[in-house]
């Protein structure tokens, strides 16, 4: 089994980390290969950046089509997911979607923790688009930028603990999802302190994608995910 993990931003170091994270939970006969957006943004923090990222994702998938059994879109907003499913035959999963899927098997309601307040509406949009609003307790921002979260892990851990605790105690979450790759490093620490499962999207997506391949299922081509109609594209 061969899984292509596409990083929608242009930071290859992040791609490498995510591939390693996916490979860690893959079964022994499954290889994870990374692809990084050739053009676009260094890090995705807005609707606009998601659009650029979505474009880069679909371009990368088309270029490598035929070389993988399933694909992972490795950015929490799942940019380009519907278009990717349309263009490809093999299964495609997003890390936000995969996080929600893992979360609902571990508790009745989940919360998502993200960086800036501006990231909350797009995450609420993706929750609603995927149909998980009824299982979501809240989306909470730590107020840290990706850079801050990435460079000072003590600060990140503290902020995640604080907002995670509120998600559990005030909003009624049983499970937390990390809505930003820069938070992954402190995942275990937060899990231990708060004593709830803290879901990370990349491994969740890896086992989901690999599982779909093992079962032999491919994207439905009967309605919304039919291959695009022939037209002139420039």
Binders of its own copies among residues 146 to 185 (CB under 8 A) are 168, 172, 174-175
Among 12, 16, 20, 27, binds its own copies (CB under 8 A): 27
Query: With CB under 8 A, what is the number of residues at the site for its own copies?
Result: 92
Q: For the segment 114-153, give every residue that binds its own copies (CB under 8 A).
A: 116-118, 120-122, 124-125, 128-135, 145
CA distance 26 to 31: 7
- CB 152, CB 122: distance < 8 Å: no
In the complex, the smallest distance separating the C-beta of residue 112 from its own copies, rounded to whole angstroms, is 13
Is the Cα torsion angle 131, 135, 141, 146 positive or negative in sign?
negative
Which residues does residue 140 pair with via DSSP β-bridges, in sequence order? Answer: 113
52 binds its own copies (CB under 8 A): yes
Total residues belonging to the chain = 234
13 binds its own copies (CB under 8 A): no
Which secondary-structure segment (H or E) carries 167? helix 153-169
- Sheet hosting strand 198-199, strand order edge to edge: 136-141, 110-114, 175-178, 198-199
Binding track over 192-211 against its own copies, x by CB under 8 A: --xxxx-xx--xx--xx-xx
2 binds its own copies (CB under 8 A): no
In the complex, the smallest distance separating the C-beta of residue 215 from its own copies, rounded to whole angstroms, is 5
Among 14, 58, 60, 113, binds its own copies (CB under 8 A): 58
């Amino acid at each position: 089994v061969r899984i292509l993990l596409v990083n929608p931003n242009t930071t290859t170091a992040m791609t490498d980390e995510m591939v390693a994270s996916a490979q860690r939970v893959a079964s022994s006969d499954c290889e994870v290969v990374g692809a990084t957006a050739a053009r676009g943004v260094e890090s995705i923090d807005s609707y606009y950046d998601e659009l650029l990222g979505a474009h880069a994702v679909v371009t990368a998938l088309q270029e490598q089509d035929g070389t993988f059994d399933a694909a992972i879109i490795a950015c929490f907003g799942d940019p380009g997911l519907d278009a990717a499913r349309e263009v490809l035959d093999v299964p495609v999963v997003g890390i936000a979607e995969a996080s929600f899927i893992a979360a609902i098997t571990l508790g009745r309601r989940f919360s998502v923790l993200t960086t800036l307040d501006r990231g909350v509406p797009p995450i609420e949009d993706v929750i609603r688009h995927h149909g998980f609003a009824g299982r979501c307790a809240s989306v909470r921002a730590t107020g840290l930028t990706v850079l801050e979260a990435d460079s000072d892990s003590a600060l990140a851990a503290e902020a995640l603990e604080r907002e995670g605790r509120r998600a559990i105690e005030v909003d009624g979450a049983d499970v937390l999802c990390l809505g930003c790759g820069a938070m992954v490093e402190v995942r275990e620490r937060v899990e231990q302190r708060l004593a709830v499962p803290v879901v990370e999207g990349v491994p969740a997506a890896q086992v989901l994608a690999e599982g779909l391949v093992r079962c032999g299922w491919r994207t439905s081509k009967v309605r919304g995910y039919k291959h695009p109609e022939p037209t002139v594209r420039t």
